[in-house]
Structure 1
């Protein structure tokens, strides 16, 4: 494993407690223990999706850090992939959370654009990495 992969994996692993806290928050919301604010079904569904995507995409970004070590890509492209994957995890999950955070939300607000941007960054990063591995 290269020093670059170790750096990015270390940074990514340090963010995992925030995902754990999100799981705790989600559990309190879904169990009805969170009494400060009432969340509707739309908000609960968006929080579930945000939490699930955060976990899956962080694991994917960790795997791809090691794969990037073996891609036939220039340093610039490798760093775009290395940074793009964890950034996409933040944007996708953040898009779910922030688009449903306003009071009595029944549909996504403008923050949903963050989700779509994250999907684009994720797809682009994976395509670049895939091409680099095929070369």
Structure 2
């Protein structure tokens, strides 16, 4: 494992407690123990989606760090991949949470755009990595 992979993997692993806290928050919301605020079905669904996407994409980003070591890419593109996948995890999961934060929300607010930006960053990063691995 290269220094770059270790660095980015270490940083990414440090984000996992926030995902764990998100799971705790989601559990309290879904079990009705978070009584300070009433959440709509839409909000609960968006919170579920945000939590799930965070976990899955963070795991993917750790795997991509190892694959980036073997990709034949210029340094700049290699760093784009290394940073792009974990950034996409933040954008996509953050977008799900942020777009449902308005009290009593039943539809997404303008912050849903974060999800689309994250999808683009993730797709671009994975395509570049895939091409680098096929070279």
**Shorter-chain TM-score: which interval?**
over 0.9
CA apart distance, 1:28: 0.1
Distance 2:89 2:55 in 1: 8
- Say whether residues 1:54 and 2:44 are aligned partners: no
CA apart distance, 1:60: 0.1
Distance 2:18 2:94 in 1: 12
Runs of 5+ in structure 2 lacking a partner? none
Query: What do residues 45-104 of structure 1 show as CA deviations (whole Å, max 9, x unaligned)?
Result: 000000000000000000000000000000000000000000000000000000001111
- Say whether residues 1:84 and 2:84 are aligned partners: yes
TM-score (norm. length: structure 1) = 1.00
Question: In the alignment, what sits opposite 2:35?
Answer: 35
CA apart distance, 1:105: 0.5
Distance 1:49 1:115 in 2: 11
Q: Aligned residue pairs: how many?
A: 135
Matches within 5 A, 1:39-118: 39-118=39-118
Runs of 4+ off more than 2 Å: none
Runs of 5+ in structure 1 lacking a partner? none
CA apart distance, 1:18: 0.2
CA apart distance, 1:128: 0.2
Distance 1:122 1:105 in 2: 27
